[in-house]
Amino acid sequence: MSHIVIVTGAASGIGAELVRSHIADGDQVIAVDVDSAGLVALQDRFDANWMRACSVDVRDAAAIAELVDETVAQHGRLDIIYNNAGLGIGGKSHELDVKHWDRAIDVNLRGVVHGTIAALPHLLRQGSGQIVNTASLAGLIPAPGLAPYGATKHAVVGMTLSMRVEYAAAGVGFTAVCPGFTDTPILDKEMPADLPAVPIPVSTRKMAESLPGGIYPVAALVTDIRRGVAANDALVVTPKAARSAWRTFRWSPGGFLRALQNRAAKTANKFARR
């Protein structure tokens, strides 16, 4: 049986690959993004019979609720919602102001909240369905230079696991996706243009390429996500290097932090932007 699936942040990266993967399985996908041009490009790749593109900002709670309600009214149900939209806000914390924090919270946390609370009543009435929230390895371990991003991703993990326990008996599943560095456009993006400029002294992509395991292919990540969702896993922590880092931090937080501090001192020079 085909599934009815909503994907936010669908125009690129993880979201676009989730759209492709579900359409390949014969599912009906509602692709959501604030990037209208990106959605048009995505629409050109797929048959309109299998995908509907919706230009909606996840920061708009009413618009997200309307989208979910319309989806259920049209299809009779909702099987999976991927609250995947997000952005990276980084830089030295003393150089960031409240506008940077507000944007990270509005998109990375409130955007997930909006999708979750819009979908949850429908899934409870059905007695089935899955809410899949994209967090990050930075939601499980410290992420120096990414304090707003890491804070919001920790919040997404906490929210997802709390709701998983709350609604397990009701037949509604919750999964938090916590990938390490993945080959998506977020590795190369600068600060959003409407926010105050902040020096980003380190190339995220270069740094990621130097780490154990390097950069994970997005198609491999989506395969892992789909497998985890099918199994109703609480957490999808991938690839192996990400699981190893998470495990090390849990075993020895102090040692892990010291290693991070030592690495940060070397990173500043080795991976400086040119």
Strands 235-238 and 173-179: parallel
Backbone angles phi, psi at 162, to 5 degrees: -65, -45
What is residue 144's predicted lDDT score, i.e. its pLDDT? 87
Going from N- to C-terminal start, the domains of the chain cover 4-270
Query: Among candidates 44, 40, 46, which has minimal Cα distance to 5?
Result: 46
C-alpha dihedral sign at 146, 151, 156, 157:
positive
Q: State the burial class of residue 255 (Cβ atoms within 10 Å of its Cβ: 0-12, 13-18, 19+).
A: exposed
Pairing of strands 80-83, 130-134: parallel
Query: Would you call 234 helix, strand, or coil by DSSP?
Result: coil
Give the predicted TM-score (pTM) of the model. Answer: 0.92
At 90, the pLDDT band (50, 70, 90 cuts) reads confident
Is 4-270 a CATH 3.40.50.720 domain?
A: yes
Per-residue pLDDT tens digits for 9-31: 999 999 999 999 999 999 999 99
Please give the order of strands across the beta sheet that includes 28-33.
51-55, 28-33, 4-8, 80-83, 130-134, 173-179, 235-238
Decide if pLDDT at 201 tops 70. Answer: no
Catalytic residues: 149
Label residue 35 left, alpha or beta by phi (over 0 means left) and psi (-120 to 50 means alpha). beta
Instruction: Fill in the DSSP letter of residue 235.
Output: E
Identity at 274, one-letter amino acid code: R
Question: What pLDDT is stored for residue 153 in this prediction?
Answer: 98
Neighbours of 213 (CB within 10 A): 16
pLDDT band at 205 (very low <50, low <70, confident <90, very high): low
Q: Is the pLDDT of residue 188 over 80?
A: no
pLDDT in tens, 153-167: 999 999 999 999 999
pLDDT digits over 97-133, tens only? 999 999 999 999 999 999 999 999 999 999 999 999 9
